[in-house]
Structure 1
Amino acid sequence: MKKNMFMLLAFSLVLLLSACTSGTAGDSSESSVDGNDPTSPKKDSLVVAYEADAATLMANIDVNYVTDAQIRNIYDPLIDRDGKTGDFVPVLAESWENVDEHTWKIQLKEGIKFHNGADFNAEAAKYSIDFILDEANQSFYRSRWVDVKEVKVISPTEIEIITSKPFPSLIQRIAEDLLVIEPGYVEEVGLDEAAKKPVGTGAYKFVEWSRDNYLKLEAFDEYWKGKPAIKSLEFRYIPEFSARLSAFLSGEVDLFKNIPVDSVDSITNDDHSKVAEVASARINYLALNNFYEGPLQDEKVRQAINYAVDVDELLNGVLNGHGTKMTGPLSQINNDYTETAEYGYDVEKAKALLKEAGHEPESLTLTLDTPNGRYPMDTQIAQAIASQLQRIGITVNVQTNEWGNHLEKIRNREMKDMFILGWGPAFDAQSTVENLFTKVAPYSGFYDEELEKEIYRVNQLFDEQERFDGFSDLQHKLVEKAAWVPLWQQSDLYAVRKDLKFTPRVDEKIQAYEMSWE
């Protein structure tokens, strides 16, 4: 039943709407934009705009979508997810086997080369996992991998992973976290240099990185899957949405993600553009931060905030319906989703709970941090939430952060009362629940000692039904404790050049190898 629901909600919808508009992009250089001039060579370059730079080009360090989406064009994983269904698919791995509760074997592909000519083998796979486990590397993935005790090289094409505790979700961790590094290169040039000039087995090789400006890559013609159709790939960093939109409509940029809903028409009405949409596996939420010594450490105050935020109004009034409402910590696209009770919008109940907690609503002044342009209409959502809380008397000061600074404040526990964040791809319960509701997880905004013990207990359950039931119970408890205000499963909107063959993925990856020009 869960699987069918996943398949139903994960399908992608591409909207191809166009109308003639005078003065739009391409009027003066139509052949270079749309490629319809039969005398011009077929386009083989691609420019993708992002709102922020990658934090690093080194794999297995930064838990950050903007970083990950770029470097996955340079590095390959052992295991990936299918872009349409989210199912696990082999990449550098040939197959995998769960031997027992503490042992996994992974068979690797042969004949694959890194960009520098080195062979991919079991030593490289082991090195990449050990890199995450080594505290000296300060990987933000490490908290997810601490139960890995040892990685053994069995042969040049096989590794064995030994865990200190039962680790039934290891394949999820491999698929979502792990990219393969070339050991000899990192040891030769050092971590700092490898983080600036990366070497992987991926479809694209490093060319040039200008901090806060662009990252340029070129096709790796010896790529094991075959030569990429896109020969030149550039990621260009344009923080302001209006500037990204202008660059796109002028033909400087071919693709970008997260169109605000109020700008969809300006793209669909352009003669050379289209909008692609997919119900992604990303969730958006309002964190009620109990790491901060303030009123939100009180469960009744958090419950009051849940009753005071009208999610339906936000979804319909600000996002124009582009999203699927959530009532708990997991979206319906998640394999471990269970239906949870909805708080609903109840102003009087919110006021009553605040008084029970010893607060007059008018006495409360809270801070709400939000990124600007990272998620669809994120700043507008934050302002709308502030207005809704003002209706019951609470004053909310909205703090807008640059994306990198926003993440750093969360990791350093510098956030105050509330913050806007998304999480994904979120296909299984553990990757969300463990990483957002435990003390050591870098992006957690809520911690409860008893719940954490239960999270770690359920993590180790190999029995499928017991594991599902355990995470079901945790979802209910997190709702009861008002750990968040759940918002919605994000609907991803992409601006796409009309003649670019592009299908959005449910896991949000931007894989240039999968694209080509008509």
Structure 2
Amino acid sequence: MLRKNHVFLVLLLLFAVFLSACTPETAGTAPATTQPAGQPAASTESPAAPSQELIIGFEADAATMLANTDVNYVTDIQIRNIYDPLIDRDEKGALIPSLATEWKNLDPLTWEFKLRQGVKFTNGEPFNAEAVKFNIDYILDEKNNSFYRSRWKDIKEVKVIDDNTIHIITSQPFPTLVLRITDDLLIMAPKHTQEVGLEKAAMNPVGTGAYKFEKWTRDDSLKLVANEEYWQGSPAIKKLTFKIIPEFSARLSAFLSGEIHLFKNVPVDSVERVKNSDNGTIAMVGSSRINYLALNTFYDGPLKDKRVRQALNYAIDVDELLKSVLNGNGTKMTGPLSKVNEDYTETKDYGYDPEKAIALLKEANMDPKSLKLQLDTPNGRYPMDTHVAQAIASQLQKIGIQVNVQANEWGNHLAKIRQHEMKDMFILGWGPAFDAQGTIENLFTEKAPYSGFYDKDVEAMIQKALPIFDPADRKQAFDELQHRLVDEAAWVPLWQQGDLYAVSKNLQFTPRPDEKFMVFEMKWNQ
């Protein structure tokens, strides 16, 4: 039986609230197909053979095959089929044991984890406490340039107690450590990684996961094969390929022709084509991902002025964007968290008020008609992302602001954010977003890699909130932060994403709110 302290019980109760909230209705849509998600529609096709290769169309390539290095959805989703976490989430987002079987905090600075016995890496190395210590130390070591490091800065030491027990010592109370371990930490084979070096390990990854690495062709495909010795049993699907297809239209064409069997982020104007095709159906789930327009204060431009940022909030009509561009596939946000987030609090909705926007700009001594801004967007990463950017530009043009929309390849988009090369505004999504700290610390602090907003007083509030262990006090602190961030107009909040998947009728697949493609959970119809 899993042991927990009172704080962890509170966390589980909060996840229960999340589970009840994460429904198609929460996402602002009704199910896009009459059959339940993951249940194939009737088909005249012959059933797929169990040995058939599954090909998933994916929007961008992984940055690396190393675990614990790149804070990037497209990297994480692919490598989670190679590596296992200590703690996982089930298909509805609840915490479940994986390579760790039990956990508890012994005192406010010490956490104990019991590890699963008898597990081996795919090269034969034993999984044990030393492997866990190696991977956490990897994150903390500055020379490895892990983008996770800022999220783990309060880890002081990892102690190996015995082969199946570790203690994690923190420098201050770290009440969300279990969530960080769940959402960040994957376990690489330490001996292999040390012997071949990071560069070669990145090209030949070894984990304990359901699939083994076979071949990675940059910007083309990642090929994996089933780990027949997997500790949870042999995978039903024996061959797996992530096929990199950046453009929506190309992914759709590949799916309709049968070249790929599954892809995410179906354009809303193409749902009927998938539903009416011979090959596929639509599955939908309310995602835990949020989408937003960052108003970049790291760039020395007009958005450093709070009044300008507030003006943009008044000048952008999010309700109209949802209706006209996304066909209602999303739920409007008014602050940095969505309603499915366990720490969510109701915040002010600026609403659409172009006259108020113009007045604020004039108060800031800026003529809207002379204001020129740049808006960067990824191309094909989020539902209708470039269309959303163009629609925002059009709305701002109505009050005279000229907006240059710059569409970026996904990897370049992330690099520009990390290196503070973005200009005035950029579109980004964040998720899985289950807890306030996981969003607010990572998107509103000076040193976080994907932050687009920094204010020294807000940062002081964040740092004060992080070590609070009492659930009620912690909730109050993050409530205050949500209101402060809205008042500062740190973002134009957009929506909680509604995810649409094109699914082969022969594939048993259930979409998850955390967006993972866990192929071990899938199988072909017999």
State the Cα deviation string for residues 134-165 of structure 1 (Å, max 9, x = none): 01110000000011000000000000000111
Aligned to 1:53: 61
Mapped contact 1:274–1:498 kept (Cα < 8 A): yes
Mapped contact 1:44–1:229 kept (Cα < 8 A): no
| 3-state SS, counterpart of residue 490 of structure 1 | strand
In structure 1, distance between residues paired with 2:234 and 2:31: 26
Aligned to 2:333: 326
1:385-424 map, 5 Å: 385-424=392-431
* 237-246 or 388-397, larger mean C-alpha shift: 237-246
| 3-state SS, counterpart of residue 406 of structure 2 | strand
| 3-state SS, counterpart of residue 501 of structure 2 | strand
Is 1:11 matched with 2:23?
yes
In structure 2, distance between residues paired with 1:299 and 1:228: 53
In structure 1, distance between residues paired with 2:504 and 2:264: 12
State the Cα deviation string for residues 307-361 of structure 1 (Å, max 9, x = none): 0000000001100000000000000000000000100000110000000011010
In structure 2, relative to structure 1, the CA distance for the partners of 1:456 and 1:127 (3 Å cut) is same
Letter in 1 for 2:296: N
| 3-state SS, counterpart of residue 60 of structure 1 | coil
In structure 2, relative to structure 1, the CA distance for the partners of 1:405 and 1:82 (3 Å cut) is same
- Deviation, structure 1 residue 363: 1.2
CA-based RMSD of the aligned residues comes to: 1.4
Aligned to 2:300: 293
In structure 2, relative to structure 1, the CA distance for the partners of 1:136 and 1:450 (3 Å cut) is same
Count of matched residue pairs: 501
| 3-state SS, counterpart of residue 139 of structure 2 | helix
| 3-state SS, counterpart of residue 515 of structure 2 | coil
In structure 2, distance between residues paired with 1:277 and 1:93: 31
Aligned to 2:46: 35
Letter in 1 for 2:186: L
In structure 2, distance between residues paired with 1:106 and 1:379: 44
State the Cα deviation string for residues 378-412 of structure 1 (Å, max 9, x = none): 00000000000000110000000000000000000
Is 1:487 matched with 2:498?
no
Aligned to 2:434: 427
Aligned to 2:160: 153
In structure 2, distance between residues paired with 1:462 and 1:354: 42
Aligned to 2:443: 436
In structure 2, distance between residues paired with 1:15 and 1:351: 40
State the Cα deviation string for residues 422-458 of structure 1 (Å, max 9, x = none): 0000000000000000000000000010111110111
Is 1:69 matched with 2:77?
yes
1:249-268 map, 5 Å: 249-268=256-275
State the Cα deviation string for residues 11-31 of structure 1 (Å, max 9, x = none): 36864469xxxxxxxxxxx98
Match of 2:387 among 369, 380, 384: 380
1:273-284 map, 5 Å: 273-284=280-291
| 3-state SS, counterpart of residue 447 of structure 2 | coil
Mapped contact 2:50–2:236 kept (Cα < 8 A): no
Mapped contact 2:50–2:238 kept (Cα < 8 A): no
Q: TM-score, normalised by structure 1?
A: 0.95
| 3-state SS, counterpart of residue 279 of structure 1 | strand
In structure 2, distance between residues paired with 1:415 and 1:409: 6
Aligned to 1:92: 99
Letter in 2 for 1:11: T
Mapped contact 2:49–2:524 kept (Cα < 8 A): no
Gaps in structure 1 of 5+ consecutive residues: 19-29
Gaps in structure 2 of 5+ consecutive residues: 1-12, 25-29, 36-42
Mapped contact 1:17–1:268 kept (Cα < 8 A): no
Mapped contact 2:316–2:392 kept (Cα < 8 A): yes
1:362-377 map, 5 Å: 362-377=369-384
Match of 2:358 among 344, 351, 363: 351
Mapped contact 2:85–2:182 kept (Cα < 8 A): yes
State the Cα deviation string for residues 350-375 of structure 1 (Å, max 9, x = none): 00000001101011000000001100
Mapped contact 2:279–2:505 kept (Cα < 8 A): yes
- Deviation, structure 1 residue 88: 1.3
- Deviation, structure 1 residue 186: 0.5
Mapped contact 2:314–2:353 kept (Cα < 8 A): yes
- Deviation, structure 1 residue 5: 4.8
Match of 2:460 among 453, 457, 465: 453
Mapped contact 1:5–1:332 kept (Cα < 8 A): no
Aligned to 1:27: none
Aligned to 2:473: 466
Mapped contact 2:50–2:523 kept (Cα < 8 A): no
- Deviation, structure 1 residue 272: 2.1
Match of 2:201 among 194, 206, 213: 194
- Deviation, structure 1 residue 7: 2.2
| 3-state SS, counterpart of residue 95 of structure 1 | strand
Q: TM-score, normalised by structure 2?
A: 0.93
In structure 2, relative to structure 1, the CA distance for the partners of 1:41 and 1:320 (3 Å cut) is closer
In structure 1, distance between residues paired with 2:33 and 2:497: 20
In structure 2, distance between residues paired with 1:142 and 1:284: 24
State the Cα deviation string for residues 92-112 of structure 1 (Å, max 9, x = none): 001101111111000000000
Task: State percent identity of aligned pairs.
Answer: 63
| 3-state SS, counterpart of residue 168 of structure 1 | coil
Aligned to 1:361: 368
In structure 1, distance between residues paired with 2:286 and 2:427: 20
In structure 1, distance between residues paired with 2:340 and 2:420: 30
Mapped contact 1:282–1:422 kept (Cα < 8 A): yes
Letter in 1 for 2:456: E
In structure 1, distance between residues paired with 2:496 and 2:72: 18
- Deviation, structure 1 residue 41: 4.0
Aligned to 1:217: 224
State the Cα deviation string for residues 8-59 of structure 1 (Å, max 9, x = none): 33136864469xxxxxxxxxxx98xx434xxx84453200011111100000
State the Cα deviation string for residues 58-90 of structure 1 (Å, max 9, x = none): 000000000000000000000112221x22111
| 3-state SS, counterpart of residue 398 of structure 1 | strand
State the Cα deviation string for residues 246-305 of structure 1 (Å, max 9, x = none): 111111100011111011111001122011100010000000000000000000000000
In structure 2, relative to structure 1, the CA distance for the partners of 1:355 and 1:41 (3 Å cut) is closer
Letter in 1 for 2:191: G
In structure 1, distance between residues paired with 2:18 and 2:197: 43
